[in-house]
Structure 1
């Protein structure tokens, strides 16, 4: 959904340092808040557990549990995330706000059983501890809700409310864990419980914010399924982006640097810790994309398309196209330059700082950090260009780019298992480079003929794509309405009967 809200735009126009810091802080919270919160919990519970005497094996097991929940929830929600975002955007554009919130219940109807059933069976095959099973399923369900709600929260632009939710979540989770460990013996179950409480608080705050903004009047919970038929490429983009981004982590768990922790849990601490800190370097580009590209590029983009939809002359359209391209090129170069500086800074000063922290960094981890910093940096720039392709509704090009990224990163990571452990991470970097090159070429050729793509490439007659998911959504909505009508008639009949008696 293009546009970051008038409140944030106003902050970016401010000249004071405080206003700029607030603007970037809010932007970071919107773009990367849940992911940062997950990383914060991973590090926080580890530190708390270590302080109160939790042994290394149990700390690794706890970290692995949280990591499994994060990755599974991200993979499941990636199937629907892009489609739901497009659905919300279309409903807001059509001024059908009544239809927005009902779709949240509909998408949760699918992802909660899919995620929890899969993970529940997976857990029961290896782990018979009922308390851990319940806590892990609770966390997974909360994460599924939180990730999906973020698609809706970006629409309401209530930055302060979202920030308050994060703060309360952290206080309840980590603050509560510290207090509890003072009075109760520290354990995996106790720390896992407070992580669940933290995400539960965040979920409730997010839900309250959504109900304050969107009216909950309609009950067309499954209308969004039609958007899967209309925009199937969005499912591909979301799913393969996640595959490319996370598959190399999972593959490393079963490589020469990986280790079996307990039961179904595996990890590769040397690779995972390096990847975690390397991943943080792309936050600069994610924030800069929203803060820079949307603030400066989006108005030019909107003006250009409005001229096609309105009464713009050919000369006005040509001038607007030139301005839009110039601004886009400037912002992309600016974003890439910032990411390059950030990566270079982390490879020099960042390496020194990480080696001084009690994280156990050695030569192997230093090597992983270097190559993954480069890989994530290249990925971040490629991802920004892919998002620009989606701005221009080139979903086909965006989908192909994510498939290239996922295939090269995943297949390359599998092949690299047969090589020396020092080569892990190169496959992800190679996949990121292929991703970037394809996105650059695709955007270049697209912009060369942008009037053609806007006008001539469109079908002469608009035909609605009504396939399996459309019919499924209509049947589910119809059956739901019929069951409600039946219940109302039954209640009325019982009331009449009791009144007659």
Structure 2
């Protein structure tokens, strides 16, 4: 969905430092804004709760509940996000804008029923907490599953000031509600979380209603096998499972975790460093979005427009060379910016952890997690290029490999001891990036052949 690309190119066309900064701020907002604001808001809820003298154990139970809600909802809907994004992109390419909104409503209905049914079964069989706790967890789970699907439209909408305002309002509702409802203890915090994310969901839906018009309200065209790509379901599932599987291994290993609430377990040793490390990828994510959605996307569009219009092969080859250069420069710039971020955090990490009241014992794991999440940004950029080139099989292979390697390497790190914790996640991503670069090089070499042979078929 090229909305963000068009807007970023328009901003960068002003050719000034202010315009460049403007573009990167917008890119950071779209790529990282929702989850960064979510993390900071949940942390602020915890701080407020401590200030209101709520039991520390209760706040920890709230944090772990939220973590499992995020993980499970992302894994469940990860495939649907890719699947539906491609469906919407194809309809927009065809000029069938009226199909977008009805099918969004349709997939939200499917997700609500599916997530609700799954949540009811799991909460009824695995949890023995009070009914109000289980109902609030169920409601939060369903809302989050719907919210992830709605957020894919952010890059297609150009009203970024309104988007930022919606985010601030939604998370302000969450924090304000936590302050007002703190007397209800755990239930009050979960209700505040529900109110905040529900406000976000409905405000974003309102923005989408303003952007896309339709004659009918509900459609299920995305279930038509001829209009979708089933492989994207498994790709999205694999990518999100790959991100979370090492956490689950640590959570459910009795030697590295403890029971927190119901069947939910947590690993204090492993969770905190990687949680902090993920906040460090904001610069890399902004560069990733700017470079992929401007330089690369522009040359990609020129190349395939030339192919469709029957331009001479020499001209097409020249455009391919420019696109390849844009990919190389984009990946290099991501590495530079994210590498500089890692170096700075390496230098200031002891002071940062001390300021946060975190033991220096966490430093080695924090360092390796920083490297791991930075490599993940490069991995995302490579996957995005493959998606543009419609190499769905390669992306599926890389995401499947990510899951397998993360399981194997994380298990090995557990056998080797605490000094090797975090290496499983980092090495699995490193291996996938190296393989991805090799496959990308081969794909670009064979691009003309693949393009014209595909056209013949």
Q: What TM-score, normalized to structure 2?
A: 0.94
State whether structure 2 residue 182 is matched by structure 1 residue 193.
no
Unmatched tracts of structure 2, length 5 or more: none
Residue 221 in structure 1 maps to residue 219 in structure 2: yes
Q: How does 1:7-26 map to 2 (within 5 A)?
A: 7-15=7-15, 18-26=18-26
Q: Distance in 2 between matches of 1:95 and 1:291?
A: 25
Q: Distance in 2 between matches of 1:54 and 1:13?
A: 52
Query: Quick check: 221-230 or 55-64, which moved more?
Result: 221-230
Once the two structures are superposed, residues 353-410 of structure 1 have per-residue CA deviations (whole angstroms, 9 ceiling, x without a partner) of 123212x3331x2121111111111122122112111111111111111111111002
CA RMSD in angstroms comes to: 2.0
1:368 aligns with 2:369: no
Match of 1:299 in 2: 298
Displacement of 1:177: 2.3
Distance verdict in 2 for CA 1:274–1:95, change over 3 Å: same
Alignment of 1:62-77 (within 5 A): 62-77=62-77
Distance 1:248 1:281 in 2: 19
Q: SS at 1:417's partner residue? A: helix
Q: Distance in 1 between matches of 2:109 and 2:181?
A: 34
Give structure 1 stretches of 5+ with no counterpart. 461-501
**Is the 1:49–1:186 contact (alpha carbons within 8 Å) kept by the matching residues of 2?**
no
Q: Quick one: distance in 2 between partners of 1:162 and 1:144?
A: 19
What is the aligned partner in structure 1 of residue 403 from structure 2? 406
Cα 1:459–1:135 change in 2 (3 A) is farther
- Render the CA deviation track for 1:266-318: whole Å, top value 9, x for unaligned: 11123111111111222222211111222112111111111111141222212
1:175 Cα offset (Å): 2.4
Would the aligned equivalents of 1:52 and 1:186 in 2 still touch at CA under 8 Å? no
1:380 to 377, 381, 384: 377
- Report the 3-state secondary structure (helix = DSSP H, G, I; strand = E; otherwise coil) of the residue aligned with 1:216: coil
Quick check: 1:275 aligned with 2:257? Answer: no
- Residues matched between the structures, number: 455
Number of the residue aligned with 1:248: 246
Aligned to 2:265: 266
Does the 8 Å contact 1:274/1:368 carry over to 2? yes
How far the C-alpha of 1:16 sits from its partner, in A, is 5.1
Instruction: State the distance in 1 between where 2:392 and 2:335 align.
Output: 22
| C-alpha distance 14-187 of structure 1, shift in aligned 2 (>3 A) | farther
The answer to whether structure 1 residue 288 and structure 2 residue 287 are counterparts is yes
Q: Give 1:305-454 correspondences, 5 Å limit.
A: 305-358=304-357, 360-363=358-361, 365-454=362-451
Q: Which runs of 4+ in 1 moved over 6 A?
A: none
CA contact (8 A) 2:102 2:216 kept: yes
Bigger-Rg structure (1/2): 1
- TM-score of the aligned structures, taking structure 1 as reference length: 0.86
- In the other structure, the counterpart of 1:111 is 111
